[in-house]
Structure 1
């Protein structure tokens, strides 16, 4: 069962002074973006890295939920944050690191099973697999 999702972006102008709008295919989000905002420390606009972070946090959480449920410990809650780093190297801009941080409440789950499931979700969720050339770290807390 293959599912294809689409989003689009419109851009006007040159890189430094231009701007654009990103539209999600589901129509639940539309937002402006620009290179200046993308590369500033505190951006008030969206950017591709923020959208990747949201997708990765969601994908990881769903994968972890499935693994915990399969292990016999359906979670009551999972809260995941993904921080995507954009940096410039000799060849240009690149995603250099993604830091996942998750807090999970799953009654009865042992620390060993928790660590096994979180590591499996980290490497096995579809977004992690798609971003396998980027260093991905994980800080996981069982609460």
Structure 2
């Protein structure tokens, strides 16, 4: 088993407060986030949805590569984009959609098996399982020549 840690420090009230996100690997170290980077156009910080998308894309991509390897195909390149939508619901918010977009170069793999492996990776990656409460997780997969 493995366990990873992230921490957040926040100062100030709601919309005017600022937070800092750090990870145990120091990939993020006191990285800023706040109301503006989450709901506005402030591009100097991150936000939980962006980080969730990055984590989901990373997990799915790795699961797809492992699935290809298990099926006897070596991935040359795999690129995934995850778009996470935060929608208002009543007085609060929820993540109502995650759209995964995959493009991959996998020599010798035909389209049908590619789609099957991609769908299986989407279903079985640990973050997809953890995000099962998201009402709509989609996948668009393109096999490159």
Q: TM-score band (shorter)?
A: over 0.9
Correspondence list, 1:1-143, <5 A: 2-30=1-29, 31-41=31-41, 43-90=43-90, 92-134=92-134, 135-143=136-144
Q: Which residues of structure 1 form unaligned runs of 5+?
A: none
Whole-angstrom distance in 2 between the partners of 1:41 and 1:136: 25
Q: Secondary structure at the match of 1:16?
A: helix
Q: Which 4+ runs in 1 deviate beyond 4 A?
A: none
Whole-angstrom distance in 2 between the partners of 1:101 and 1:44: 25
Q: Which residues of structure 2 form unaligned runs of 5+?
A: none
- The alpha carbon displacement at 1:91 in A equals 5.0
Q: 1:57-116 deviations in whole A, cap 9, x for unaligned?
A: 110010000111111111111011111111111251111111100111001101110010
- The alpha carbon displacement at 1:36 in A equals 2.7
Contact 2:32 2:44 in 1 (8 A): no
- What TM-score do the two structures reach when normalised by structure 1? 0.95
Q: Secondary structure at the match of 1:114?
A: helix
